Structure 1
Amino acid sequence: MPRQVDHEGRRRLIADAVCQLADEHGLEGVTLRDVAARAQVSMGAVQRCFRTKEEMLVFALGHIGERIGERVRARLVRSPAQSAGTALGHAVTEISLLREEHRAEARVWLAFVAQAAVSEALASTLKANYAALQDALTRLVAEAFEGTRRAGSPDPQREARTLLALADGLTTHVLVGHLTPQEALDVLDAHLAGLWE
């Protein structure tokens, strides 16, 4: 009887290999041959999963976006009784990729962001990832200020855009060593605290 192949599992395995190589050598260092070797599959297996290198990169970028989204959802589920404001802070902290255990993922994410400037396929995937994150943050901001009648309550969509831009900027500043992770968290906390002043 022929062996069953978990195609989706193999695609994720290959995406993980892409991310490891991109972290070590940048996207320019990602070759089909090296990906196959890192994933411990044949070149043919990689080519059966992805017709082109760009298709493989697009899938890997989507894979990272899914992991970040899953972490945000898991963080919110772990503390269901928390306030909407606290939930917003947790979500933005996860998106910012500031913790040491997410440093490799942050490097890979920013490599994809840079490449997306010249790749429409990557840009399209990135826009979809950002749109999903923005929608989640918009809902959290709206919930945090629900029932608040005070003047100056933030527009949820505009604040979600601001938070996404702040998260990306802080990630970059930490990666290049301009800010420490704690300094970046202090900036983020100060911004969030300012929403309730």
Structure 2
Amino acid sequence: MPKVVDHNERRTRIAEALLRVAGEHGLEAVSLRHVATEAGVTSGMVQHYFRTKDEMMAFALEVVRERSEARLTAAVADLGPDPSPRALLRAFVAGVLPLDEARRADGRVALAFLAYTAVRPEAAAPLRADTAAMLAFVAERIRAGGPRPGVDPDKAAVGLLALMEGLGVHLLGDHYGPDTALAALDAHLDTIFR
């Protein structure tokens, strides 16, 4: 009887190896050979699933995205059945911030991928689509939550996502800790909501 191979499990195993290599040594250290060694497989197997480094990178980013979505779903569930828009946005941003080691590892890869796509615009399409979806989600929550007079929900959404990215970069660089980042987030939310 032929052995049944779980191709998605193998692809995910390779992507997780890529995440470890990128998280420990930076994206420039990612190669098919290094990833194969980290995953404990042959370079041929890596090439069977990913023809190019770009394909491997895109799949790894998808793994990071799925992990983030799972964390966000759990954070929102913890808020109860009918959270306020402000509480929902706080949970959303805090869920993305690299406040613990698992999120720091994912954050390092996401930041490295962002830099990678800066010189490869064709690889940036998934990030642009994610950003557009996040902006729409955040702006709608701001509208629903009753912003302060004079606050434009669309501009406030751009500002909140920029704050999230900035806080994330500074947390990854150990410029300040989680408590400082969360206090800054709360202060910013106070400028948006009544």
Would the TM-score normalized by the shorter structure come out above 0.5? yes
Give the Å deviation of 1:90. Answer: 0.5
Deviations 1:6-34 (A, max 9, x none): 22222222111111100111011111112
Deviation (angstroms), 1:166: 0.7
Count of residues in correspondence between the two structures? 193
Does 1:95 pair with 2:96? yes
Partner residue, 2:68:
68
Is the CA contact 1:76–1:87 (under 8 Å) kept in the aligned structure 2?
yes
Deviations 1:127-186 (A, max 9, x none): 1222233233233223322xx7x632x333322221111111011112223222221111
Gaps of 5+ in 1: none
1:190 is paired with a residue whose SS is: helix
Distance 2:133 2:165 in 1: 15
The answer for the alignment partner of 2:177 in structure 1 is: 180
Distance 2:154 2:66 in 1: 21
Alpha-carbon distance in 2 for matches of 1:121, 1:65: 18
Aligned-residue sequence identity (percent) comes to: 42
Offset of residue 46 of structure 1: 1.2
Counterparts of 1:25-174 in structure 2, within 5 Å, are: 25-79=25-79, 80-145=81-146, 151-152=149-150, 154-174=151-171
Q: CA deviation at 1:100?
A: 4.0
Do residues 194 (structure 1) and 188 (structure 2) align?
no
- Report the residue type matching 1:155 in the other structure: D
Distance 2:112 2:159 in 1: 21
Greater mean deviation of Cα atoms: 14-23 or 79-88: 79-88
More moved, 87-96 vs 58-67: 58-67
Question: Match of 1:90, as an amino acid?
Answer: A
TM-score (norm 2): 0.89
CA RMSD across the alignment = 1.9
Q: Match for 2:48: what amino acid?
A: R
Gaps in structure 2 of 5+ consecutive residues: none
In 2, Cα distance between the equivalents of 1:180 and 1:3? 49
When the two structures are superposed, what TM-score results if normalisation uses the length of structure 1? 0.87
